[in-house]
Chain A
């Protein structure tokens, strides 16, 4: 809870943000039940991190019980196999396992970091959690109640809520839907209904277990085979048919700042042009010399926080921009920000491009030092590309991109027809957003 005030906020790596990889000792194995194991052996580290991605993300929640994936993972930790909730959590704590779970559009993600020597014991516990969760009626109520409280917290945290609403408005539904569901869908959820959903979606088919760090591939593959190889595949449900979204939403609120979220289309990570998109995003928002920071904050002092992130689902992607500003400056902030998103297509200086490339190279190498970042990147590559990329490949692709390539990309994916969400006391003139929304 103690706070340090920083010169700027740096967006954490979001689940879909880690498209970066290091060459080196990769291994993959897909079991007969559809589970894929990905691994990277790393030197000079003592820890081993794992990411388990279950294809049960928020977009797969049945509409009537949206929030199902979010409530489900909480329920999984309330006892599994021979262990009740206290025994289960005590066992993970005793192994120094630092775990966190979250839900994305596509997946429910279980992440865990620990020393490599404890990985096998932790995996045995996760096999119980995933295959033999108790899912007892008595524990369901509090799990659902926590989701209700998360939803209500958003009312008091306008910047987070703005980000959530922007995804909901920008991505075709239900791809961008709020992972907590709604008060109605949570109220409609019952233990029976959620158990049925879990039985149909949480299984090995399409799931990925990615492990990186101080590991031995042969023993890992053997252990995972023993623990999860005979896990029966779940029945796959039909793919969702997304409905086009977009538009402008103003949520009136007596807040100190106006929270402005903007989104426009980008190319998904799987497309070759994503390297050009990544460089465009870095020129716009990569460091304190980037276009948005320079023009909106440094020159005009309109904001403390402004930035743009490149977010990709499997088949849809966006550049998501946020600016927080006082009401009297909000219209100017919007106009200047949108102007900068567009001005990028007019030209990029060679020095700007050089800086963007060195920033990408540095962040690639530095992420390569973190076992949890690596585990996340393996899973992300597999999801988006169906294969793993080495550092050499990514650096080579980044190096090849020219300014003309970036400009050509920006003309194909212009900042037009922007989706906008604004939370705050004033309504803004949205005519600058332009085009079809």
Chain B
């Protein structure tokens, strides 16, 4: 396993983790942009633009992109979050140059008006699809409540109104500002030659002109809000809880991921025993999500409406007990083993390493092999987990509920 990195003159960063014993390779272009970088009048533009990237360039028609990916048997996708947009694919080693040719070409899109008009309808379908997914609706609303007034509170999906009103000119303007080469990192992992990887990207991308890209990073809010969304069409009650957590740049992120696993992993956690094992809720899970100079712990609970209030109270009570008493040594060691084992298994696939290697660089300008991450995790002490739990109080969250209940 060997790490390499270099930078083109226009600022495009290229990094790679080379593993000659892998059977495949994966590559991705990580663009440091998402809904937090939008203004309210273009809400949803990052995600809509991600779709438009598949609609062709000066060299390729919309259908060419899809055909070329499929012709090399690529396992490919693209995804947008609040702060990143990633275009990625995994292929057999013989196709790595062709994969780069498609990915790099996509990133200089034609943004043709008729394609824009057609794809807008696909985005409107996607919005309708998420309206039928209560868990997504809770997450979306929880982020907007917790981060009210902060860029991270801006919806990735946007609304029917914002997407309906978006023009291709606004999208082009957003693209010009955000898809600057110095805001993009090309990442390769698995079985490939880094020298050839770099020269291919250089050929394809050296003419990209840098723009002055910046991101507003106001301090995250730490208010506590409550929002009850009544939807009588729903049978079940979904509840989301959110508090602040360590940022992606904070070394306490290892302790934070352990705290989340101890509090609310799928198996053997405090919430599992307090809520799922006795079937008070069928889902009760805590997740830690580190972001750019911000972070959150989020808790998802799904229950019968008649049990929802009880479930929330039990969860808050469990969080309070964990905060005052701390985890046991057994709990800490089980959480470490679960996370380390999961990371090791995921790390056996190039596709599994791609995000880890990419985000290490995006957030921290660092490379750490998987074994290094596991060492950091295993070195966390009980006191360090306690420090995180004391600073970030899981029992005092912002809460959003969605379902038939009028109050909770």
**Which of these, B132, B272, B303, B337, contacts A158 with CB under 8 Å?**
B132
Judge whether B317 is part of the interface by a CB distance below 8 angstroms.
Answer: no
Contact with A along B178-197 (1 / 0, CB 8 A): 00000000000000000000
Whether the pair A303, B125 counts as a contact (CB closer than 8 A) is yes
By a CB distance below 8 angstroms, the chain A residues around B272 are 89
Whether the pair B277, A85 counts as a contact (CB closer than 8 A) is yes
Judge whether A324 is part of the interface by a CB distance below 8 angstroms.
Answer: yes
Comparing B60-68, B162-170, B201-209, B213-221, the segment that makes contact with chain A is: B60-68
By a CB distance below 8 angstroms, the chain B residues around A286 are 70
**Contact A362 to B304, CB < 8 A, known contacts A98-B341, A294-B63:** no
Whether the pair A2, B63 counts as a contact (CB closer than 8 A) is no
Whether the pair A98, B338 counts as a contact (CB closer than 8 A) is yes
Judge whether A255 is part of the interface by a CB distance below 8 angstroms.
Answer: yes
Whether the pair B67, A149 counts as a contact (CB closer than 8 A) is no
Comparing B9-17, B229-237, B250-258, the segment that makes contact with chain A is: B229-237
**Which of these, A1, A149, A372, contacts B139 with CB under 8 Å?**
A1
**Contact A257 to B128, CB < 8 A, known contacts A2-B139, A2-B298, A288-B66:** yes
**Contact A146 to B132, CB < 8 A, known contacts A254-B233, A289-B70, A365-B24:** no
Interface size on A, residues (CB 8 A): 85
Comparing A61-69, A351-359, A378-386, the segment that makes contact with chain B is: A351-359
**Contact A257 to B279, CB < 8 A, known contacts A6-B77, A98-B341, A298-B63:** no
Comparing A40-48, A103-111, A225-233, A240-248, the segment that makes contact with chain B is: A40-48
Contact with A along B287-304 (1 / 0, CB 8 A): 101000000001010111
Q: What is the chain A residue whose CB lies nearest that of B238?
A: A156
Judge whether B325 is part of the interface by a CB distance below 8 angstroms.
Answer: no
**Which of these, A1, A86, A157, contacts B298 with CB under 8 Å?**
A1
A77 to chain B, nearest CB (A): 9
Judge whether A363 is part of the interface by a CB distance below 8 angstroms.
Answer: yes
Q: What is the chain B residue whose CB lies nearest that of A100?
A: B266
Whether the pair B240, A10 counts as a contact (CB closer than 8 A) is no
Contact with A along B101-127 (1 / 0, CB 8 A): 000000000000000001111111110
Whether the pair A256, B132 counts as a contact (CB closer than 8 A) is yes
Whether the pair A5, B80 counts as a contact (CB closer than 8 A) is yes
Whether the pair A1, B66 counts as a contact (CB closer than 8 A) is no
A134 to chain B, nearest CB (A): 14
In the bound assembly, the distance between CA atoms of A305 and B272 in angstroms comes to: 33
**Contact A94 to B118, CB < 8 A, known contacts A2-B139, A156-B236, A358-B73:** no
Judge whether B71 is part of the interface by a CB distance below 8 angstroms.
Answer: yes
Whether the pair A298, B279 counts as a contact (CB closer than 8 A) is no
**Which of these, A93, A152, A259, contacts B236 with CB under 8 Å?**
A152
A299 to chain B, nearest CB (A): 8
**Which of these, B24, B54, B156, B302, contacts A366 with CB under 8 Å?**
B24
By a CB distance below 8 angstroms, the chain A residues around B140 are 3
- Chain A contact residues: helix, strand, loop or mixed: mixed
**Which of these, B156, B267, B285, B349, contacts A3 with CB under 8 Å?**
B156
Whether the pair A257, B80 counts as a contact (CB closer than 8 A) is no
Judge whether B79 is part of the interface by a CB distance below 8 angstroms.
Answer: yes
Judge whether A197 is part of the interface by a CB distance below 8 angstroms.
Answer: no
Whether the pair B23, A366 counts as a contact (CB closer than 8 A) is yes
Chain A, range 73-106, C-beta contacts under 8 Å to B: 78, 85-86, 89-90, 92-99
By a CB distance below 8 angstroms, the chain A residues around B341 are 47, 95-98, 113-115, 118
By a CB distance below 8 angstroms, the chain B residues around A358 are 70-73
In the bound assembly, the distance between CA atoms of A78 and B125 in angstroms comes to: 43
A297 to chain B, nearest CB (A): 6
In the bound assembly, the distance between CA atoms of A184 and B90 in angstroms comes to: 47
Q: What is the chain A residue whose CB lies nearest that of B131?
A: A256
Chain A, range 311-338, C-beta contacts under 8 Å to B: 324-326
Whether the pair A2, B234 counts as a contact (CB closer than 8 A) is no
Whether the pair A297, B268 counts as a contact (CB closer than 8 A) is no
Q: What is the chain B residue whose CB lies nearest that of A154?
A: B235
B220 to chain A, nearest CB (A): 15
Task: Determine which residue in B70, B134, B303 has the highest number of CB atoms from chain A within 10 A of its CB, and name it.
Answer: B70
By a CB distance below 8 angstroms, the chain B residues around A46 are 344, 348
Whether the pair A146, B279 counts as a contact (CB closer than 8 A) is yes
Judge whether A11 is part of the interface by a CB distance below 8 angstroms.
Answer: no
**Contact A298 to B80, CB < 8 A, known contacts A85-B277, A362-B75:** no
Judge whether B172 is part of the interface by a CB distance below 8 angstroms.
Answer: no
Whether the pair A289, B63 counts as a contact (CB closer than 8 A) is yes
Judge whether B408 is part of the interface by a CB distance below 8 angstroms.
Answer: no
Whether the pair B235, A44 counts as a contact (CB closer than 8 A) is no
**Contact A156 to B235, CB < 8 A, known contacts A5-B47, A289-B66:** yes
Task: Determine which residue in B81, B282, B303 has the highest number of CB atoms from chain A within 10 A of its CB, and name it.
Answer: B282
B312 to chain A, nearest CB (A): 16
In the bound assembly, the distance between CA atoms of A313 and B340 in angstroms comes to: 36
Whether the pair A93, B267 counts as a contact (CB closer than 8 A) is yes
Whether the pair B348, A1 counts as a contact (CB closer than 8 A) is no
**Which of these, A4, A89, A97, A287, contacts B70 with CB under 8 Å?**
A287
In the bound assembly, the distance between CA atoms of A372 and B70 in angstroms comes to: 25
B303 to chain A, nearest CB (A): 8
By a CB distance below 8 angstroms, the chain A residues around B75 are 362-363, 366
Whether the pair B285, A287 counts as a contact (CB closer than 8 A) is no
Whether the pair A1, B287 counts as a contact (CB closer than 8 A) is yes
Q: What is the chain B residue whose CB lies nearest that of A214?
A: B348
**Contact A288 to B70, CB < 8 A, known contacts A92-B267, A149-B282:** yes
Whether the pair B69, A304 counts as a contact (CB closer than 8 A) is no
B152 to chain A, nearest CB (A): 12
By a CB distance below 8 angstroms, the chain B residues around A43 are 21
Judge whether A142 is part of the interface by a CB distance below 8 angstroms.
Answer: yes
What 7 A-B pairs come out closest when comparing CB atoms? A96-B341, A362-B73, A301-B121, A145-B279, A256-B131, A287-B70, A288-B66
Pairs A–B under 8 Å by Cβ, sample size 9: A2-B298, A46-B348, A157-B132, A257-B129, A257-B132, A287-B74, A289-B71, A294-B63, A371-B345
- Residues in chain A within 8 A of chain B (CB atoms): 1-8, 10, 43-47, 49, 78, 85-86, 89-90, 92-99, 113-115, 118, 141-143, 145-146, 149-150, 152-153, 155-159, 254-257, 259, 286-290, 293-294, 297-299, 301-305, 324-326, 351, 354-355, 358-363, 365-366, 368-372
9 new A-B pairs (CB below 8 Å) besides A3-B81, A287-B70?
Answer: A5-B156, A7-B54, A96-B341, A146-B276, A153-B236, A256-B132, A257-B125, A362-B74, A366-B92
- Residues in chain B within 8 A of chain A (CB atoms): 21-24, 47, 50-51, 54, 62-63, 65-67, 69-81, 90-92, 118-126, 128-129, 131-136, 139-140, 156-157, 233-236, 240, 265, 267-268, 272-273, 276-279, 282, 285, 287, 289, 298, 300, 302-304, 330, 333-335, 337-338, 340-342, 344-345, 348-351
